[in-house]
Amino acid sequence: MRHRRAGRQLSRTKEHRLAMMRNLVTSLLEHERLETTAAKAKELRQLAEQMITLAKKNDLHARRQALAVVRSKDVVFKLFSELRERYVERSGGYTRIIPKGLRLGDAAPISVIELLGRPEKIKRTKKAKAAAQ
């Protein structure tokens, strides 16, 4: 029985689940947007928000704790510089999960998880470019 066991099993062993979550949080912090199953996105949200909270502390111990989870030093640098400044005034809720639909192969619910306040690349039409000049 799973009395008082937190988190989802996701049909994986503990080691596989940990490795998968580390890969997912690294990708999310690098690309700031990720498409995955709804259950994985809900688990990923917890870990991603913990990493951003660590970055807001901005000390050596927090940086080493983040390096223990995130797989890329470049992503940790981005986390402690760019993302930290973006969320320094915010007290939580750094991610958003948007349901997308069902996956074609097995009908698993797919969601998009993204960091809030990420800069969007604006596509301008020819009329908008002409009006801006």
**CA atoms within a 13 Å half-sphere pointing along the CA-CB vector of 110:** 11
Residue-wise pLDDT for 36-90, tens only, equals: 999 999 999 999 999 999 999 999 999 999 999 999 999 999 999 999 999 999 9
DSSP label at residue 70: -
- Tell me the C-alpha distance between 43 and 6, whole Å: 10
Q: What is the pTM of this model?
A: 0.86
Residue-wise pLDDT for 87-130, tens only, equals: 999 999 999 999 999 999 999 999 999 999 887 765 566 666 66
Q: List, in order of start, the domains of the chain with CATH numbers.
A: 14-132 (3.90.1030.10)
Q: Which residues of 77-105 are buried (b: 16+ CB within 10 A; e: fewer)?
A: ebbbeebbebbeeeeeebbbeeeeeeeee
pLDDT of res. 121: 65
pLDDT of res. 125: 65
Tell me how far the alpha carbon of residue 109 is from its chain's centroid: 18
